Amino acid sequence: MTDKINLQWYDANYVYSDGEIEQEVLQELENGVSPATLLEEDYRWPILYHFSPERHAALDWIDAIDDADVLEIGSGWGAITGCLCERARHVTCVELSLIRSQINAIRNKNYSNFGITVANLNDIPFEKQFDVVTLIGVLEYCGRYTEDSNPYEAFLQKAFSLLKPGGTLVLAIENRLGLKYFAGANEDHYNRPFEGLNNYPNDTGIRTFSYEELTSLINTLDNSSSDFFLPFPDYKFAQTIIAADDMTHYHEAFVNEINYGAYSFSSFDQSTVFRTLAEQSDLKTFANSFIVLIRKDSAEEGQ
């Protein structure tokens, strides 16, 4: 699978990993064990997160992907690479980690329409733009991998610049003020409760954003328009996706976190509270995560 991996801009100093499990999984795949078998036999969170076909639900409904030239930023173990390959004309993956890229290349070996560049996106001198760019669970890490006074804005600007006019950037990220965090869920990236609610007092370059914060960040993009969607229970295993401004569907909000979600404690029933929030027309403030479609204007300024 080395023919699918481009190491021209690879820098081993960029480290991102789920730990020793990655070497275990790579060896299993090299020995012919299928992702489906691993998913059936291994109940550890990284296996569920990276191999569950439910991960595809966050993208299945997005028409812009069909026959598109796609840039997948932060492709990881290939959780969504396969579903992109099934619909897109070609998928260019960018991933910091070599071992994660090797896992991706093996698990998706039956697809011929993708390649993986192992590098920091900021180091790649792209010579073209794309119809679709995806940032699925990526933006929150930019404080670690982008050198700028505002790394999140700078990285979002970089990703957006790689879109063709008329193209779509697909952004998925947790909500810093998600209801589950009030209920007692550990913050996803720090594995501690209340970390995001307290505005990251132990900030190590990873943070998510509230609805208002993310809106302000997106508004820094010129020649763009955006639509927010609310996935329930969240974008990782979305079972229902509601347009943030379509209150006629707010009653469909619910939470079912069987087999995932680490809680230090659970102080209330989120489904009951979400129903109350729906009645008050205030789901987008407390939804557990967001999916945002950001479009680049077809006619850019000056053209």
**Which one-letter DSSP state was computed for residue 64?**
G
Q: The pTM is what?
A: 0.94
**pLDDT tens readout for residues 51-87:** 999 999 999 999 999 999 999 999 999 999 999 999 9
Give pLDDT tens digits for 143-185. Answer: 999 999 999 999 999 999 999 999 999 999 999 999 999 999 9
Q: Where are the chain's structural domains?
A: 2-296
Work out the burial of residue 67: count CB atoms within 10 Å of its CB; fewer than 13 is exposed, 13-18 middle, 19 or more buried: exposed
Structurally, at CATH architecture level, domain 2-296 sits in: 3-Layer(aba) Sandwich (3.40)
50, 79 Cβ separation under 8 angstroms: yes
